[in-house]
Amino acid sequence: MTEPQGTGVTVLGLGAMGSALATTLLDAGHAVTVWNRTPARAVGLSARGAEAASAISVAVTANELIIACLFDHASVHETLDPVVAELRGRTLVNLTTTTPNEARELAAWAAEHGVDYLDGAIMATPPMVGAPEASILYSGTREVFDAVRPVLDRWATSTYDGEDPGLASLFDLALLSGMYTMFAGFLHGAAMAGSAGMSATDFAARATPFLSAMTFAFADDARVIDGGDYTVAGQQSLDFSDLSHIVRASEEQGVEPAPIAAVQELISKQIAQGHGAEAFARIYESLRADRTDSTDSTDSTGSTELTEAHR
Ligand code: FVH
């Protein structure tokens, strides 16, 4: 076995993702200390050269840089609250999925206890870790990101999204929202075609090139939204985009119309407000946050309370 080189790193949480992160660091020659609530999960990494810490206090004092890849926001506090004194002066990079406000709360908690904090959001599956196609978003203090970047770059293409610690989580969840809504649309289409006997496999073969080709329109919609003028020429209007025939067809086939009915509801709302002749992208106005309200409600820790309008 070769001698470890580079920054020593502690990885907390050895689920599928934490194990992939630790393995990549070991393969790159870092000295890695690992800890997991269920110790048996550290056995394979020990065999590859990791130091398995016997207790969380041993793990967090082994290195200056601590990576947390746990289950959720609550599990991060459950794991780290008892050793917060030992964390003082160290750097914590939290790659556990949280909401933006949970990330802001963790950043404020870390600052209160003298811990340098960076929040991260992993846009990859465990087998992708270590490849440039993998992407991890980061937000929080820029100096912390710059200081630990050589380690972060071992895992993925690293993107710094800004000082607000909630931004990495926000952009991650925004992208996932787009993805899951698209998949729900695909599955609804598969159920419609399936009502006439088409296999999901055959439907996927037709849907993939069609949906891929349609994504060019994201940029068109984005230009209209950012330009703020939904009456701009050359755009498909909301009146033309009425989808009630798709909702009806779905019901006629005995297929639950929920995904497409939700889109139709947004269209109908804008038409009812008198915007039928305007671009389809106008439904963004039914979805967007009131940015003035959310700015007004940001407190001194950077935490943004939900206003009545957002609930
Ligand atoms: N896996 C993926 O594809 C996604 C990609 C995007 C980002 N996510 C997030 O990464 C976090 C970890 O995900 P994971 O895949 O490693 O998850 P699991 O395999 O389920 O492992 C969970 C680990 O968390 C430990 N844990 C759970 N609860 C607690 C707790 N209360 N105290 C301490 N540790 C806890 C668990 O330990 P154990 O059950 O083995 O004892 C695992 O180590 C996650 O936020 C994803 O959303 C992954």
CATH of domain 171-297: 1.10.1040.10
Give the long-range contacts of residues 145-150, CB within 8 A, separation 24 or more: 145/118, 147/91, 148/7, 148/65, 148/91, 148/93, 148/118, 150/6, 150/7
Q: In this predicted model, what pLDDT tens digit does every residue of 55-65 receive, in sequence order?
A: 999 999 999 99
Q: Is 248 exposed, middle or buried (0-12, 13-18, 19+ CB in 10 A)?
A: exposed
In short, whether 14's Cβ falls inside 6 Å of ligand 1 is yes
**Fold match flag (9-166 vs 171-297):** no
227 C-alpha to ligand 1 centroid (Å): 41
Q: Which CATH class is domain 9-166?
A: alpha beta
Determine the pLDDT at residue 232.
87
User: Which protein residue's CA is at the shortest distance from atom 18 of ligand 1?
Assistant: 15
User: Which protein residue's CA is at the shortest distance from atom 13 of ligand 1?
Assistant: 17
Report domain extents, the chain.
9-166, 171-297
User: Which parts of the chain register pLDDT below 70?
Assistant: 1-5, 291-311
b/e per residue 222-238 (b: at least 16 CB within 10 A): eebbeeeebeeeebebb
pTM here is 0.90
Determine the pLDDT at residue 151.
98
Determine the pLDDT at residue 292.
57
In short, whether 257's Cβ falls inside 6 Å of ligand 1 is no
In short, whether 43's Cβ falls inside 6 Å of ligand 1 is no
Q: In this predicted model, what pLDDT tens digit does every residue of 177-216 receive, in sequence order?
A: 999 999 999 999 999 999 999 999 999 999 999 999 999 9
